[in-house]
């Protein structure tokens, strides 16, 4: 099991593979983000997208799918996400793209109110098959500690 | 058509209705966020969630569905989202919950590089049927101007 103590600021990991399909892009957008430019190439051609592209929330969800798969083995002592900061949809994601992602630990802090937990700030960047960053965010997640009885450092 | 000029800082709107169903929660989580606590009441009972709850990205997507429906009529001159700041999953969202949302314009700025556009910062808050805020974020979106030839104010 991977615990809060196992992460160091600056740690990076690169992983994941997600093939973006036209059917899934249209299904997701039809349900949750039915702008005409997400549903029709003709409408998309009138915008800077040029052709059908994925809803930004779909891209976030595909990133999450890669991340959750990654933290299954070895399992992570994650207690779920609190939120994200600085989420940016940097470039459109198109059907046919193949996504991957990178994580970088940017900050960690032991909880004072719940000494068995700590908060972990992770920059998550999603790339397309050309290595172009399409989505970036800093997630904040709660993690369990391996040694909850260790004293909380002052710094 | 609603343009950039039509928004004033402090403007608020309350709208939307989204019934969260157990089937949809499990389908979304199975595809994009397959933590065991999103898929099984038994596993959820071992966590602070208590029972199956929606993936945070699902809640974002349901909020987007309400928002996109809202901006269809009258249509908004939206050119899409750039990103979000301070996204926080404040409370779990459970099957059976009925969501609604509120928007508040918190900042607006005309683009200097593209004078026909402006950026709009909107605090979006999603509530459950008890009026409890479950999700909050500040979205940044590009909007078209009604009068692109108007001079850009210095302030």
Task: Report the pLDDT averaged over residues B25-30.
Answer: 98
The DSSP letter of residue B60 is: H
pLDDT digits (tens, 9 = 90+) for B118-150: 999 999 999 999 999 999 999 999 999 999 888
Confidence of residue A129 (pLDDT cuts 50, 70, 90): very high
Choose the closest CB to B32 out of A61, A81, A86: A61
pLDDT digit string (tens) for A64-119?
A: 999 999 998 888 988 889 999 999 999 999 999 999 999 999 999 998 888 899 99
Least confident of A22-31, A92-101, A133-142, B39-48: B39-48
CA separation for the pair A148, A4 (Å, rounded): 10
Tokens matching residue A2: 């991977």
Domain assignment present for B71: yes
Q: Is residue A17 one of the residues assigned to a domain? A: yes
Residue B154 lies in a domain: no
List the one residue out of B137, B101, B145 whose CA is nearest residue B119.
B145
Q: Is the confidence at residue A144, as pLDDT, over 70?
A: yes
Residue B125 and residue B135 in contact, taking contact as beta carbons nearer than 8 Å: yes
Residue B110 lies in a domain: yes
Distance of residue A155 Cα from the nearest chain B Cα, in angstroms: 25
pLDDT of residue B112: 87
Q: Is residue B36, in this structure, part of any structural domain at all? A: yes
Q: Give the pLDDT band of residue A154 (cuts 50, 70, 90).
A: low
Indicate the average pLDDT of chain A: 94
Burial of B137 (0-12, 13-18, 19+ CB in 10 A): buried
How many domains does chain B contain in total? Answer: 1
Query: B56 in a domain, yes or no?
Result: yes
Residues of A in contact with B32 (CB under 8 A): 61-62, 64-65, 68
Mean pLDDT in residue range A118-136: 98
Q: What is the pLDDT of residue B44?
A: 93
* B84 touching chain A per CB within 8 A: yes
**Contact: A85, B85; criterion CB under 8 Å:** yes
Q: Mean pLDDT over all residues of chain B?
A: 94
Give dist(CA A59, CA B77) in Å, integer: 23
Angle (CA) A20-A85-B8 rounded to 5° is: 100
Q: In this complex, is the C-beta atom of A45 within 8 Å of any C-beta atom belonging to chain B?
A: no
pLDDT for the residue numbered B153: 72
Does a structural domain hold residue A116?
Answer: yes
**Which chain A residues are closer than 8 Å to B47 by Cβ?**
79-80
| Region B27-41 average pLDDT | 95
**Which of A29-33, B43-47, B79-83 tops mean pLDDT?**
A29-33
- CATH code for the domain of A69: 3.10.129.10
Q: What is the pLDDT of residue A66?
A: 98
pLDDT of residue B154: 54
Write out the residue range of the structural domain in which residue B14 sits.
4-144
Helix (H) or strand (E) holding A137: strand A133-144
Express each pLDDT in B49-102 by its tens digit: 999 999 999 999 999 999 999 998 888 988 889 999 999 999 999 999 999 999
**Domain contains B38:** yes
């Amino acid at each position: 099991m991977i615990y809060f103590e196992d992460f160091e600021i600056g740690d990076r990991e690169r992983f994941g593979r997600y093939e973006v399909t036209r059917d899934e892009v249209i299904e997701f957008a039809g349900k949750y983000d039915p702008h005409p430019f997400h549903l029709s190439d003709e409408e998309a051609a009138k915008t800077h997208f040029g052709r059908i592209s994925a809803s930004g929330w779909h891209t976030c969800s595909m990133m999450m799918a890669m991340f959750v798969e990654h933290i299954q083995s070895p399992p992570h002592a994650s207690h779920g996400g609190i939120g994200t900061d600085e989420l940016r949809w940097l470039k459109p994601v198109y059907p046919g793209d193949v996504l991957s992602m990178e994580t970088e630990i940017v900050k960690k802090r032991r909880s004072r109110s719940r000494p068995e937990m700590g908060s972990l700030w992770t920059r998550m960047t999603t790339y397309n098959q050309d290595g172009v960053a399409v989505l970036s965010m800093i997630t904040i997640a709660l993690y369990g500690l391996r040694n909850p009885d260790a004293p909380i450092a002052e710094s």
